[in-house]
Chains A and B, each alone.
Chain A
Amino acid sequence: MTRSTSHPQSSRLAVLAVLLLTGSGPLAAAPPRPPSQVTVTDLPNDDGTGLVVRWNVSPDDKPDAQPRVVGQYDVERKDAADKNAEFELIGEANFGETSLEDKKCERGIAYLYRVIAVGLDKSKSEAAMAAKPVTGVLQWIDGTRLWFGLIGVVVCGAVVSFIRIAQSGRELKIRKIAGLEAVDEAVGRATEMGRSCLFVPGILDINDMQTVSGITVLSHVAGLAAEYDAQLEVPTSRSLVMTTARETVQAAYLKAGRPDAYNEDNVYYLTDEQFGYVAAVTGTMVRDEPAACFYMGAFFAESLILAETGNSIGAIQVAGTAMPSQLPFFVAACDYTLIGEEFFAASAYLSGEVHQLGSLKGQDVGKLIGGGLIVIGCLLATLASLSAEDGGLSGAVSYLKDHILGDGGLLP
């Protein structure tokens, strides 16, 4: 004989009791206590669209709390002038944080902010309101960039001053740069051998100053090629560089009185892709065997491939780049290398114009400033580290690092 394990009515009651007790889920934790002292101030050195919201953390936000109560802070705002406006979430800050920058304000509008502590279980505290609405203030000058501006004005002023001095007729001593002296020789050699010249203006676009500098050297090389009746080929890696190079070469041929000798197909675009470009150029070099190769611009890993290929065909090679990582390859493999600022000096040097040469002296002022800052900074830092007291010296080093050289100064 079998028996049922329990009375049907009581089992139903038991199930109901279990459901009531467990169906609603675990007992909900109390929401965290709200943060306090919410203050809102203008974000300095901005265009009036930034405000900074600060608060004191919730009393439940303890760094060593286990389990953690507060997960984050929700920052909300509304347009204070609009009576129908609702608070909207504009940002979240992690637990422990006490501020948030709101950079998406509209200028001229007063915003009222509130901060809510949110628990790990997404429960929310009461809102802590800011005392009053705040409007962003437009600052016309970014005060943190003052040192940058000052140094920029001094350096640029020095360049302009030396240009003026040179224009006044005073002789300026500029050292010889072997690579630039060799440009004429290289083009002449190519003409004598009846072979072409190859000019590679780098692989970056025209918005890079190295490419601009390369194009200015191209102008001079093209003028020489026109004068000596040598063929010049300019394969480019960017379409805009191709169009600029064509204009430059055409103008150079026109100036040399040889507009008929100009062939626009000699300045051509290959590909934007780095190794595709260098494969095409080295293929051209091996087939056409130019007698003179000029590498003037920004290069990356392809620099050694170009230089070694040029070496294998017996070409005279002049390179110029401002990529420090590629300079060793060019120095090792090319006949002449323009290192860094020598390359930027090329246009002034090749033109021979006095006012352009004056600008080279102006750069030296910048170097003096740079050298001076390095010496002063190293001296201060050394003395500060040797000094037992943590006072003026450390402060001076910090000011130098943070305001003159750091984020507030020369760094963008």
Chain B
Amino acid sequence: MGDFFTNLDRRWIFLGMGIVVALPMLLGLSFPEEPSDMVRDVFAAVDTLPEGSNILMAYDYDPATKGELEPMAAAFTRHCAKKKHKLYFITLWPAAVPMLRQNIDILESEFGDDYTYGENYVNLGFRPGNEGVIKVVVTDLKELYGNDVNGQDLQKIPMTRNLKNIQQMDLIVNVSAGTPGAKEWVQYAASKYEIKMVAGVTGVGAPALYPYVPAQLTGLLGAIKAAAEYEQTLIDAYPEFAENPATNEALRRMGPQLIAHIYIVALIILGNCIYFTDKRRGAAR
């Protein structure tokens, strides 16, 4: 038995991980989430804005990070739509264009009665240039964006006709998977021009942004746990969301996350037991 564990084929570990992630998903295992102060601050930043405020939805993530960031982005989209804010979708990542599309699908399918393209939301799409794009749109948006993603002239779209730059935004909501992303939005837009901003990032990227909270960044959602807490806050504030299974994507993922973390802790303990056993065996010889 000891030899089995000492020379354990990693494929057993992979199988174990597969089971601990799949089973909770299939069984629908979920746990209550208690929102942290940071999550509450992010929620309040969106919720306390007057109805019809201008929100820049800067979504900078790709399919690889969709699993971790899509629930965050969708929660932001639903929350802003519930408050009937005016949404301006934009991205700095070429691979994020379909991500914007998916969030717009949420608006069209769930808030179609209240949301009309061009009057309540607009999709500006992607422009190359990384943080260079931010530096330009923060003073003159139409220098880079003459048309929206469908090729329509921004001068002909009601909500962008008088849009000079993103300083007219009441809030920047950024979901980012890396660079360019939240840090660049903070450095070149939120901090410099004092535009209120909240961000959602991956767990790995969150520590680099903590220094910006709360002076430059009103709040930060880090990793899928924060997304789950945000969804919980949203459901607590607007119980009608609980009827829509799509609104608790992150909450559903916390079940597998918990079991997977416990599995990793168990693996570490097992690995150390094997290590000390082998050490003692070696010393005995």
What is A's interface to B at a CB cutoff of 8 Å? 91-92, 94, 103, 274-275, 300-301, 312, 324-325, 407, 411
Could you say which of A94, A103, A407 contacts B192, with CB atoms under 8 Å apart? A407
CB pair A274 B64 closer than 8 Å? yes
Count residues of B near A (Cβ-Cβ below 8 Å): 12
Residues of A within 8 A of B64 (CB): 274-275, 301
Q: How far is the CA of A324 from the CA of B208 in the complex (A)?
A: 9
0/1 interface trace, chain B 47-64, chain A, CB 8 Å (1 if under) = 000000000000000001
Q: How far is the CA of A300 from the CA of B62 in the complex (A)?
A: 14
A-B pairs with lowest CB-CB distance, top 5: A325-B204, A92-B164, A275-B64, A300-B178, A312-B10
CB pair B205 A325 closer than 8 Å? yes
Could you say which of A94, A275, A325 has the most chain B C-beta atoms within 10 Å of its C-beta? A325
Residues of B within 8 A of A407 (CB): 192
Interface: B168 (CB within 8 A): yes
Interface: B139 (CB within 8 A): yes
Q: How far is the CA of A407 from the CA of B192 in the complex (A)?
A: 9
Q: How far is the CA of A73 from the CA of B167 in the complex (A)?
A: 15
Could you say which of A91, A312, A325 contacts B164, with CB atoms under 8 Å apart? A91
Q: How far is the CA of A40 from the CA of B139 in the complex (A)?
A: 19
Besides A91-B164, A94-B168, 15 other A-B contacts (C-beta < 8 A): A92-B164, A94-B167, A103-B139, A274-B64, A275-B64, A300-B178, A301-B64, A301-B204, A312-B10, A324-B208, A325-B204, A325-B205, A325-B208, A407-B192, A411-B187
Closest to A411 in B: B187
Closest to A101 in B: B139
Q: How far is the CA of A300 from the CA of B64 in the complex (A)?
A: 12
Residues of B within 8 A of A103 (CB): 139
Q: How far is the CA of A275 from the CA of B177 in the complex (A)?
A: 14
State which residues 125-149 of B face A: CB under 8 Å: 139
Residues of B within 8 A of A274 (CB): 64
Residues of A within 8 A of B164 (CB): 91-92
Q: How far is the CA of A312 from the CA of B164 in the complex (A)?
A: 55
Closest to B179 in A: A300
Q: How far is the CA of A411 from the CA of B178 in the complex (A)?
A: 20
Min CB–CB distance A76 → chain B (angstroms): 14
Closest to B10 in A: A312
Min CB–CB distance B182 → chain A (angstroms): 13
State which residues 183-205 of B face A: CB under 8 Å: 187, 192, 204-205
Q: How far is the CA of A91 from the CA of B168 in the complex (A)?
A: 13
Q: How far is the CA of A328 from the CA of B23 in the complex (A)?
A: 29
Q: How far is the CA of A39 from the CA of B120 in the complex (A)?
A: 38
Min CB–CB distance B217 → chain A (angstroms): 16
Q: How far is the CA of A312 from the CA of B9 in the complex (A)?
A: 10
Closest to B64 in A: A275
Q: How far is the CA of A306 from the CA of B208 in the complex (A)?
A: 24
